[in-house]
Amino acid sequence: MLGLTTRFSFLALCVLQIDEEVAKLLELKAQLGGDDGKHQFVLKTAKGTRDYNPRQMAIREKVFNTIIGCFKRHGAETIDTPVFELKETLTGKYGEDSKLIYDLKDQGGELLSLRYDLTVPFARYLAMNKITNIKRYHIAKVYRRDNPAMTRGRYREFYQCDFDIAGQYDAMIPDAECLKIVHEILSELELGDFCIKVNDRRILDGMFAVCGVPIDKFRTICSTVDKLDKVRLSQQEAHAEDSVSVGSVAGGGRYDGLVGMFDPKGRKVPCVGVSIGIERIFSIMEQKAEASAEKVRTTEVQVMVVSAQKNLLQERLKLVSDLWNGGVKAEMMYKKNPKLLSQLQHCEEAGIPLVAILGEQELKDGVVKLRVVSTREEVNAL
């Protein structure tokens, strides 16, 4: 009897433990999202980042093409560098803004950080490859653990468009070209009135010295002075909701001693450059496009291949393939027998300028009927 009681007690204990584990599993299941087992979370982009839809990307591409075209017009070649650098490469190069650098976890013995800008990696590239003379541009993403202001084009992940001239040249000639580049880009983008301010940090340093500011505080105070325009802009925006002003959209200057910080022998390479703030420029252009209700094409398709009757899929495929092979940007609907009206409506909605129409009569005559969408004028082409 005692043995039987012991077995019942053991079974009761097991049942109790099972119940407890089942309760834990049910609780975990509820946390993971109920019966379908899917984890419940909010779908959103990370703080300080954003997605861009096709219309927005079309505007961005126009800006990028304008900037790249200007850089190439001035004879620059391009390079690329890793999105992350050794932490020690970036350490001590940004003053108080070093706290905004994104540090990564130890990856197999290397302490890494996401690049804060494109200038320090460029200086590292010059020193590492012993380059003393180059005119280069670099367009890539950088990362800053800053407080984002999305409406003013300030993000944690954003593009920089840099143009730099490295080498020993006669004074101020490369500097003047950098100013010319800024003027060309801002004028071509038609952003409105703008002002390019030119200064010399040494003048500011002299003012600090006269005021008794300790030398080791110069850079910190300079950084604060640089931010005065941001503070002033924020105050203005608080009273002007319709403003599309975003403050500074470009900046640059000399950094003759930076390359020497990476060179084992401290050899300096004089450098001057400018960085175009693509995100702030895009904020202005995006708001202007929305205000004007401007229609923006999101593709570059030149010709839409359509059929006027059924059972012409093979003929459409052959024609669109011939157009592609000829370098013509073309497309067709992914249906065997699409309705002619649906095909023509797609052309109007997408802004496609030309329609190539295939029908039984056209095939019999060995021609293709071309229609101009805007005027509906039609001609036969062999």
Binding residue numbers: 117-119, 144, 160, 164
Rounded Cα gap, residues 188 and 182, in angstroms:
10
Annotated binding site for L-histidine: 117-119, 144, 160, 164
H helix or E strand, kind and range, residue 107:
none
Which residue, 360, 362, 357, 318, is CA-closest to 340? 357
**Which 8-state DSSP code applies to residue 222?**
H
> Which alpha helices (H) appear in 33-148, and where do they start and end?
54-73, 87-90, 119-128
135 neighbors 75 (Cβ within 8 angstroms): yes
The separation between the first and the last C-alpha atoms of the chain, rounded to the nearest angstrom, is 104
For residue 158, what are the β-bridge partners?
Answer: 142
Which residue, 134, 368, 68, is CA-closest to 273? 134
320 neighbors 305 (Cβ within 8 angstroms): yes
The half-sphere exposure of 74 on its side-chain side, counting CA atoms within 13 A, is 26
349 neighbors 342 (Cβ within 8 angstroms): no
The vertex-19 CA angle with 16 and 22, nearest 5°, equals 150
CB neighbours of residue 187 within 10 Å: 11
Rounded Cα gap, residues 281 and 190, in angstroms:
10
Q: Which amino acid is at 22?
A: V
